[in-house]
Structure 1
Amino acid sequence: MPIAPSRLAESTFWHQPLDARMAQFAELREQGPVLPVPVHNMLTDTEDTVYALTRYEDVAAVSKNPNDYCSGKGATALFDLPMEMLEFFGGFINMDNPRHAHQRRIVAKTFTPTELAGVLDMVETICTEVIDDFCERGEVDLVEVLSQPFPLLIICDMMGIPRSEFKTVLDATNVILGGGDPEFMGEDGGIEKLIEAGMSLATLMGELIEERRANPTDDLTSKLVHNDLSEDLLTPAEITSFFVLLAVAGNDTTRNAITYGVDLLSRNPDQREIWRADVPGVTPTAVEEIVRVASPVTFMRRTSTRDQMLGDHAVSEGDRMVLFYGAANRDPRVFENPESFDVLRQPNQHVGFGGPGPHFCLGAHLARREVAVVFRELFARLPDLEVAGDPVPLESQGIPLVAGIKRLPVRFTPSAPIGTS
């Protein structure tokens, strides 16, 4: 019996191991290019319909045409939310031009290779620091000791957030991207818990903005507060929204790419050996393959701005199109042997950082660097690291924005810290 598209809206679909989930996506991908999925809208307590796109060509076409498929009605949620909430939690991801272009242009000035040079050096230092903290233990939860703290520490240091506030940021981001997991939300947590998490980040950033106004430093917050061009200044609310976006999206996606990557190498020891035999040469293609196969960002949504055709499928104005990146990244029309994990795969035009177009991930360069450095250091310092149990998935309550792994037990021969001095 063929799998029904409604299966996508069931929490149990997302609690499956990655391979099982993608095998079902493969079935759905062949049922048609645009699949109606009935979903329960918890805000209105009504049944709504969204449209799943699982083929590469359609995901790319919608991504490249923001005038036909907008983000301003919500890109990070299946349902239409109040604009204030959309912009607070998603920043310019949930905006259309000209506002999207204006804010992205300002922030992009700080994400050029030149501006990121210091941050890229920081990646090396923090990776050493984080591995030093657990390398003597021999058996750990990889998420707790590496995948979780590493990218978030980089973001906090980059923005100038004090280390003393790290747990505040961690707890808030776990709630925001926890997909309703009771471990992070509590048994009776709801929208109030989400707003509370967002406000804790807003309070933290508001205080930092005021501090940087009076005492500028060289961190990213200072650069945004003291922009040289007055017409390009972001408001405090816009800076806060950007921080929430960076702390959530820039953290959780890299976190899961690292975790999935370690698990994929454990399940594909031949690929692990290919990479380990030539770390500098294989790293660029291996990082792209981890992002393709894992596709940590589950979806983004676009809304049709008019009645139109997507291929040979009629789309109505207001239809909510859900772009499933993981399914598109395994489309056999584009990728040869798409279900195989191949660290040498070329070409590899995946959409793991979003489809082509104005919303392509601004932090892709930094994310690639983070993943590359982590695996280089793991190969060098913990060469026999292996997975010691099944990944524990995020218990999302519906379709999650990020298909996360909460825990991944690993073991290795203990080694001595090397320090950063």
Structure 2
Amino acid sequence: MAGQISLDSIDIYDPELYVKGLPHDQFAVLRTEAPVFRHPDFEQPNGFWSVTRHADVTFVSRNPEIFSSYRQTCFLNEQTPTSLAEQQMMMVNLDPPDHTRLRSLLNRGFTPRSAARMAEKIEQACEIIVDKALATGSGDFVTMCAAELPLVVIAELMGVPNADRYKIFEWSNRMLSADDPELAPAPDEGMQAAVEAYAYANELGAAKRACPVDDIVSRLVVPDENGRELSELEFDLFFILLIVAGNETTRNAISGGMQAMIENPDQWERLRADPAGLARKAADEMVRWVSPVMAFRRTATRDVELGGQLIRENDKILMYYTAANFDETVFENPHTFDVGRDPNPHVGFGGGGPHFCLGRHLALLEIEIMYRTLARRVARVEATAAPRRLRSNFINGIKEMQVRLVPA
């Protein structure tokens, strides 16, 4: 595989490439021949450094003092000065110590214990979702199963009225689909969605401050025992981050996981034979296999050597989680989808360090319970058309996947 593609023909930045699927052939060449590679970039005269090996992605992730999220944000594309200043206020784009302070406030809503408290609600939601899907019999798996669960969970978590959860779906779609003309018909659609979500968050936060109840929003906007709370702006920006990160990533892991199951029916049968024992490992493997967020950006704060290359201060670096999650030196048979894979040190939730995914416990719980429910109640899932993929170099997403569900 590695010998057939020359480095000067590599282009893993083009969103059009991902409509067909992940460019595993190009990633393999990069990991082998140029793990830290100066990649052309139409927005940057000096290009950017693509980082594709697991060890290097982990090193960049765990050294925020050298590789900053704040300088140019974690997003792949270049920003205008105005949008850069706005994006830099979001937690995902902060560096320590600002990131540390904000994350310590948010942590209280996202502990393993608080995720476990949601288990019963998630189980109820999965039963209802699978009931409806089986009653329908066939249709788009994304809308029938994958999209619904994270919306229910976010609505429950944030105390959002159930009727408003589809607004979350629509906002996150519009914010993340700028490269897909079908989902973002107007250039300013993403910005408009962010404005609408921001206004909604502001009203939600104000209502919870005035009348706190037992939900995460109230815990974040009301002072804790040390008198700490999120400011109005911090909460509004966190809400936007949550509806994107908590919705898109889990939805795409569930959808991409089902595509992997359809293509590997032996793994579906393994899961059906032992859902209690395998569903958690299967959930982890789906996150590795799909890598819902394919890449994040960092900016060098000083000259540094990485993978044998000298990276200069202010150089643009993209960590390719999709490539690192198939690193042959870390994963045995990485291109085999294995619902029992253990250990599974994937970087689908980030490579460690301060930005390691805040909601990973909840995301894995959602995927695990959804697949435990499906494995118990569905004999098999058959594709009735080829899946339609998102045009994006950032989110590994399936827009539509027509299937037939055969009840157990």
Confirm or deny a common fold (TM above 0.5): yes
Q: Name the amino acid aligned to 1:342.
A: D
What is the aligned partner in structure 1 of residue 15 from structure 2? 11
**What is the TM-score when the length of structure 1 is the normalising length?**
0.91
What is the CA-CA distance between 1:148 and the residue it aligns to?
A: 1.1
What is the aligned partner in structure 2 of residue 418 from structure 1? none
Please give the alpha-carbon distance, in whole angstroms, between the structure 2 residues aligned to 1:2 and 1:87. 37
Please give the alpha-carbon distance, in whole angstroms, between the structure 1 residues aligned to 2:399 and 2:253. 13
Once the two structures are superposed, residues 292-333 of structure 1 have per-residue CA deviations (whole angstroms, 9 ceiling, x without a partner) of 111111111111110111142211111111000010111111
Please give the alpha-carbon distance, in whole angstroms, between the structure 1 residues aligned to 2:58 and 2:76. 19
Secondary structure in 2 aligned to 1:242? helix
Please give the alpha-carbon distance, in whole angstroms, between the structure 2 residues aligned to 1:162 and 1:291. 29
What is the aligned partner in structure 1 of residue 35 from structure 2? 33
Please give the alpha-carbon distance, in whole angstroms, between the structure 2 residues aligned to 1:315 and 1:194. 32
Once the two structures are superposed, residues 339-390 of structure 1 have per-residue CA deviations (whole angstroms, 9 ceiling, x without a partner) of 1111222221110110021111011100110000011111112222222221
List aligned pairs for 1:198-213, cutoff 5 A. Answer: 198-213=194-209
List aligned pairs for 1:230-245, cutoff 5 A. Answer: 231-245=227-241
Identity level (%): 36
Equivalent residues, number: 401
What is the aligned partner in structure 2 of residue 296 from structure 1? 292
List aligned pairs for 1:103-182, cutoff 5 A. Answer: 103-182=102-181
List aligned pairs for 1:359-374, cutoff 5 A. Answer: 359-374=355-370
Once the two structures are superposed, residues 79-113 of structure 1 have per-residue CA deviations (whole angstroms, 9 ceiling, x without a partner) of 2554433146xx21100011100000000011123
Please give the alpha-carbon distance, in whole angstroms, between the structure 2 residues aligned to 1:289 and 1:301. 24
Distance 1:412 1:311, change over 3 A: closer
What is the CA-CA distance between 1:35 and the residue it aligns to?
A: 1.2
Distance 1:11 1:120, change over 3 A: same
Partner residue of 2:5 out of 2, 24, 27: 2
Please give the alpha-carbon distance, in whole angstroms, between the structure 1 residues aligned to 2:291 and 2:9. 20
Unaligned runs of 5+ in 1: 416-421
Q: Name the amino acid aligned to 1:321.
A: I
Please give the alpha-carbon distance, in whole angstroms, between the structure 2 residues aligned to 1:310 and 1:271. 38
Please give the alpha-carbon distance, in whole angstroms, between the structure 2 residues aligned to 1:149 and 1:240. 23
Contact 2:289 2:337 in 1 (8 A): yes
Q: In the alignment, is residue 395 of structure 1 matched against residue 391 of structure 2?
A: yes
Contact 1:5 1:28 in 2 (8 A): no
Please give the alpha-carbon distance, in whole angstroms, between the structure 2 residues aligned to 1:194 and 1:275. 38
Please give the alpha-carbon distance, in whole angstroms, between the structure 1 residues aligned to 2:172 and 2:46. 28
What is the aligned partner in structure 1 of residue 335 from structure 2? 339
Secondary structure in 1 aligned to 2:379? coil
Please give the alpha-carbon distance, in whole angstroms, between the structure 2 residues aligned to 1:13 and 1:28. 16
Q: Name the amino acid aligned to 2:250.
A: T
Please give the alpha-carbon distance, in whole angstroms, between the structure 2 residues aligned to 1:210 and 1:200. 16
Secondary structure in 2 aligned to 1:356? coil
Secondary structure in 1 aligned to 2:135? coil
Please give the alpha-carbon distance, in whole angstroms, between the structure 2 residues aligned to 1:12 and 1:195. 22
What is the aligned partner in structure 2 of residue 56 from structure 1? 54
Identify which range, 298-307 or 378-387, moves more after superposition: 378-387
Q: Name the amino acid aligned to 1:52.
A: S
Q: Name the amino acid aligned to 1:160.
A: G
Partner residue of 2:321 out of 319, 325, 337: 325
Once the two structures are superposed, residues 258-293 of structure 1 have per-residue CA deviations (whole angstroms, 9 ceiling, x without a partner) of 011111111111111122111111122222111111
What is the aligned partner in structure 1 of residue 99 from structure 2? 100
Identify which range, 74-83 or 22-31, moves more after superposition: 74-83
**What is the TM-score when the length of structure 2 is the normalising length?**
0.93
Secondary structure in 2 aligned to 1:232? coil
List aligned pairs for 1:275-286, cutoff 5 A. Answer: 275-286=271-282
Contact 2:174 2:193 in 1 (8 A): yes
Q: Name the amino acid aligned to 1:121.
A: E
Please give the alpha-carbon distance, in whole angstroms, between the structure 2 residues aligned to 1:102 and 1:213. 21
Please give the alpha-carbon distance, in whole angstroms, between the structure 2 residues aligned to 1:229 and 1:350. 36
Q: Name the amino acid aligned to 1:181.
A: D
What is the aligned partner in structure 2 of residue 197 from structure 1? 193
Once the two structures are superposed, residues 132-173 of structure 1 have per-residue CA deviations (whole angstroms, 9 ceiling, x without a partner) of 333211111001111112112210221011122222221110
Hey, which bits of structure 1, 4+ residues long, moved more than 6 A? none
What is the CA-CA distance between 1:125 and the residue it aligns to?
A: 1.8
